[in-house]
Structure 1
Amino acid sequence: MGHLIATRCASRQGVLTPLGAELTGALLAVQFCKTLGLTRINFEGDAQVAVNAINSSTRDMSNFGHVVDDIHTELQGLPCWQFTFTRRDGNKAAHRLSRFAALHAISQTWRDTPPVWLRDIIYLEQTALGD
């Protein structure tokens, strides 16, 4: 398992559906990891449809196909990546970050140390994973 390098949440105008939000979040996560210079990344998503679309080698012709295409383009620059489905109760930190961004209409990045209101969840999740 890895360790926490940074925490980020982002608020976006015009994302009206849960699938659109999941795919937009995935794109932002990939771009953020590339900005940090990370090369071995396991992304987790709690929307099975989004994870399946990203992992598919078939062209996505849905309303969000362009976002999936953008994700695939960004992933080409990463030598080792994986998108996996994790139930929401298995990634409460991501859920709390998304709620924070939505409630406060804010985008925020924390390097090395997450915000106080998120530390307990991250600690519990890392403990459950054996980190």
Structure 2
Amino acid sequence: MVCRDSEGNLLAALGQKVGLVQSVEMAEALVARRAVVFARELSVFEVHIEGDCHCVIQALQASDRCYTLYGHIIDETKRLGSLLRRCQFQHVKRDGNRLAHGLAR
């Protein structure tokens, strides 16, 4: 994952193994949760988290609970995000996530 400032400058990057997961959606949900935790570790309290898994981003944007296999992770991510001053989730195409995907490899 990559952390940038409001002007797009690179502030920090983190690569971490997720381990065995049941689905791509589960992996993306775990990464989103780690992104929120990473922001808190960096003392960044206004974050804009982008992801390329549309169903995970939709679940993170929804106001109601998530009842999928990864719903507990979504709900925890939203709870952790609510502790920040501002936490927004946005879907981006995979091309918009190129640097993060490069680091993941």
Fold in common (TM above 0.5): yes
Unaligned runs of 5+ in 2: 1-5
Runs of 4+ in 1 over 2 A off after TM superposition: none
- Alpha carbon RMSD of aligned pairs, Å? 1.1
- Residues in 1 aligned to 2:103 and 2:28: alpha-carbon distance in whole angstroms: 13
Instruction: Write the mapping of 1:9-20 to structure 2, written as runs, cut at 5 A.
Output: 9-20=15-26
Structure 2 counterpart of 1:64: 70
Provide the aligned length of Structure 1 versus Structure 2: 99
Identity across the alignment (%): 30
Structure 1 counterpart of 2:99: 93
Structure 2 counterpart of 1:54: 60
- Give 1:98 deviation, angstroms: 2.1
Question: Does the alignment pair 1:77 with 2:83?
Answer: yes
- Give 1:16 deviation, angstroms: 3.1
Structure 1 counterpart of 2:3: none
User: Helix, strand or coil: the match of 1:26?
Assistant: helix
Question: Does the alignment pair 1:4 with 2:23?
Answer: no
TM-score computed with the length of structure 2 as normaliser: 0.88
Question: Does the alignment pair 1:26 with 2:32?
Answer: yes
Which structure ranks higher in relative contact order (CA pairs < 8 Å, sequence separation ≥ 6)?
Answer: 1
Structure with higher helix content: 1
Larger Rg: 1
Report the residue type matching 2:90 in the other structure: T
Report the residue type matching 1:88 in the other structure: R
TM-score computed with the length of structure 1 as normaliser: 0.71
- Give 1:17 deviation, angstroms: 1.1
Report the residue type matching 1:44 in the other structure: E
- Residues in 1 aligned to 2:15 and 2:22: alpha-carbon distance in whole angstroms: 17
Structure 2 counterpart of 1:129: none
User: Helix, strand or coil: the match of 1:43?
Assistant: strand
- Residues in 1 aligned to 2:88 and 2:73: alpha-carbon distance in whole angstroms: 17
- Give 1:50 deviation, angstroms: 0.7
